[in-house]
Every structure is written in structure tokens, then in C-alpha cells.
């Protein structure tokens, strides 16, 4: 539970998304032998990550970008999202039984894990300084509303 409070805040909402992606990535790395299962899980993971990245950028990142102190970190985090999307596209273009698929998938997994780690430590610490409790709750609602909207549109 975050210091700035309760499970309705943006930090917990983002952590829940991160854990869902991590669980999917674990299943994909373990189900590597079954291309069909892997395809279905990868499709789900792609949607989760894309929806999460777009919604996070338009809510949490946008709020932090308003603060000069947040700008540099947000630039960095956005670049990491772009890298993640590029690897997702490469993977989508590869056939599931290609030997290199899993190696590339592990590269995606490492990229996502590094990003999540940086976000939950440095970026969250900065955000706790820049955002107040009320903003934290509002951003959680905005994030979730945006994610629902994007999933419906997909």
C-alpha cells in the first residue's frame, strides 16, 4: 500500500496493470512450446501493454509533464514505451514457431521489467512529491476510464 494512500490511487492502479502484464509474460515464457497458446496470450499481452501505455501517457505522464521537475523523467519513460511498442510490432510480424521468437520475447520482457522497475521506484517517488492526494485519486479514475474506453474501441 502506498504512503500517499489507499487502493484508489494512481500508484496502485498502475501497479495492478504492471502485475497483470508480468503474469502474462510469465505464462508466455512458460508456454513457449505451444504456439497456439502462445499466440493467444501474446495477443492479450499486446492489448494490455498498448492500452496501458496510451492511458498512462494521457493521464499520469501528462500530469507530471506539467511540472518542470517531471519533464525529463517523463521523456525517458515515453521513450521506453516507444521501444516497447517497437518490439511488440517486431514480434507480431514474426511467425510463432520461429526459433528467434522466444529470444525476442525475452528482450521485450526485460524491457518491460526495467521500465516497470524504474517507474515504481524513481518515477513514483517523484510523483509523490509533485501530486497531491486528490490528484492521485483523480488520476486513477481517469486512467481506468481511459483504459475501459480503449479496450471497448479495440
CB of 26 to Fe ion, least distance (A): 18
User: Which grid coordinates belong to 126?
Assistant: 517523484
Name the minimum Å distance from CB 119 to Fe ion. 5
**Is 56 or 91 the residue whose CB approaches Fe ion more closely?**
56
Chain centroid to Cα 108, Å, comes to: 12
- For Fe ion, give the closer residue by CB, 54 or 102: 54
* Separation in Å, CA 90 to CA 27, 53, 73, 84: 20, 17, 26, 10
Listed residue (120, 119, 117) closest to 109, CA to CA: 117
User: Which CB, 15 or 96, lies closer to Fe ion?
Assistant: 15
Nearer to Fe ion by Cβ, of 56 and 142: the residue is 56
CB of 44 to Fe ion, least distance (A): 18
Rounded least distance, CB 5 to Fe ion, Å: 21
Interacting residue ranges for Fe ion, rule: CB under 5 A: 56
Asked whether 116 and 84 are in contact (CB, 8 A), the reply is no
Provide the angle, in degrees to the nearest 10, between the axes of the packed helices 35-56 and 68-93: 160
- Measured from the CB atom, the residue of 105 and 124 that comes closer to Fe ion is 124
Instruction: Find the shortest distance in angstroms from Cβ 30 to Fe ion.
Output: 24
C-beta nearest to Fe ion: residue: 56
Report which of 107, 94, 105, 112 is spatially closest to residue 17, judged by C-alpha positions.
112
* 3-class SS of residue 67: coil
Amino acid at each position: 500500500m502506498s504512503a500517499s494512500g489507499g487502493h484508489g490511487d494512481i500508484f496502485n492502479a498502475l501497479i495492478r496493470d504492471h502485475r497483470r502484464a508480468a503474469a502474462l509474460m510469465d505464462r508466455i515464457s512458460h508456454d513457449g512450446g505451444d504456439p497456439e497458446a502462445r499466440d493467444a496470450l501474446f495477443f492479450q499481452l499486446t492489448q494490455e501493454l498498448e492500452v496501458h501505455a496510451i492511458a498512462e501517457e494521457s493521464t499520469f505522464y501528462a500530469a507530471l509533464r506539467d511540472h518542470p521537475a517531471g519533464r525529463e523523467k517523463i521523456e525517458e519513460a515515453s521513450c521506453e514505451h516507444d521501444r516497447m511498442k517497437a518490439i511488440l510490432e517486431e514480434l507480431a510480424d514474426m511467425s510463432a514457431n520461429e526459433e528467434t521468437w522466444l529470444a525476442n520475447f525475452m528482450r521485450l520482457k526485460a524491457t518491460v521489467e526495467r521500465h516497470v522497475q524504474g517507474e515504481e521506484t524513481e518515477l513514483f517517488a517523484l510523483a509523490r512529491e509533485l501530486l497531491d492526494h486528490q490528484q492521485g485519486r483523480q488520476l486513477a479514475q481517469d486512467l481506468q476510464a481511459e483504459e475501459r474506453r480503449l479496450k471497448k474501441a479495440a
